[in-house]
Amino acid sequence: MTIELREDIIAIDVHTHVLASVDDPQDTEENAQHNEAMQKYFGRTFKKPTVHDLAAIYREQHMMCVVFSVDSSWATGEPNAVNNNEILELSAQYPRTIIPFSAVDPHGGMRAAKEVHRLAEAGTQGFKFHPSAQAFYPNERYFYPILQAIEESGKIALFHSGHTGAGAGRPAGGGIRLKFSNPMHVDDIAVDFPDLKIILAHPSFPWQDEALSVALHKPHVHIDLSGWSPKYFPPNLVQYARTLLKHKMLFGTDFPLLTPQRWMQDFDALGYDDATRKLIYRDNAAKLLGLDPT
């Protein structure tokens, strides 16, 4: 799969969710409760998007988007709402809009490592992990064969970091433990896999300083700014995105939880200059993904 960066692309959203399958759009009871809680937490209702939906939305806005699901089957017993093969097959229809990432079980050991190689050969550009939802510490040694496979494939590892809306307000927080998503666990990965390209997703509340430190210290660690409206960004994140880390910050929304329009409106109000906005909206992601930012 060859992904094309068109001249008219104004932004690359590195964090969007495929929540519905075109083959089986029915929810399990657990998924329905999860999505209801997420809509309540983010204060908006939304249709669960398929790959086709994301392609239509982002193409209309002259944007590209990274799309993925999350494999939390080990922790929850629930299957993925959308499998990797469907995401890859449908994404191939939109090489100028959709950038596919995949999801593997972090508890899967060598089986999951072999799956990483298969998916990389099939065209995936990266792998999404959610330590809190998947119930694992990213620096656990049993996870390392998977990271080694991603590094060998030259793909990106994207880790949720910090607080999460997943499970918020549900009894016991839906069983999700926030401790797994401290970004300092990923610092170990950046040492042990020095060529691995890493994205820390979201403002990492309550560990924002830790995330900024890791990104400053480790050359291949980036931060995506998804999941929060920029008007709620902590001052230290706003300042580093304007200065020392402006080449490592990435536009992301967490769509459908936030829309590109809402995110960009609030980000533009922060007063960044045009050159920095262009880096964050498009060029940093294009470089990380191996696209030519023309």
Average pLDDT, consecutive stretches of 10 residues, N- to C-terminus, the chain (294 residues): 87 97 67 56 71 97 97 83 95 97 96 98 98 96 98 98 83 87 98 98 97 98 97 97 98 96 97 97 97 68
Q: What is the pTM of this model?
A: 0.92
Within a domain: 162: yes
Tokens of residue 72, six digits: 């939390």
Distance CA 149, CA 110 (A): 9
Within a domain: 3: no
Would you say 219 and 248 are in contact if contact means Cβ atoms under 8 Å apart? no
Distance CA 82, CA 87 (A): 7
249-250 and 221-224 strand pairing? parallel
The domain total for the chain is 1
Rounded to 5 degrees, φ, ψ at 185 are -65, -30
Would you say 106 and 56 are in contact if contact means Cβ atoms under 8 Å apart? no
Within a domain: 2: no
Within a domain: 23: yes
User: Longest C-alpha distance within the chain, in Å?
Assistant: 49
Within a domain: 294: no
Q: How high is the pLDDT of residue 42?
A: 52
* Residue numbers of the domain that contains 238: 11-288
Produce one character per residue of 238-277: b if its CB has 16 or more CB atoms within 10 Å, e if not: bebbbeebbebbbbbbbbbbbbbeebbebbeeeebeeebb
Within a domain: 246: yes
Domain CATH number, residue 162: 3.20.20.140
Within a domain: 4: no
Within a domain: 5: no
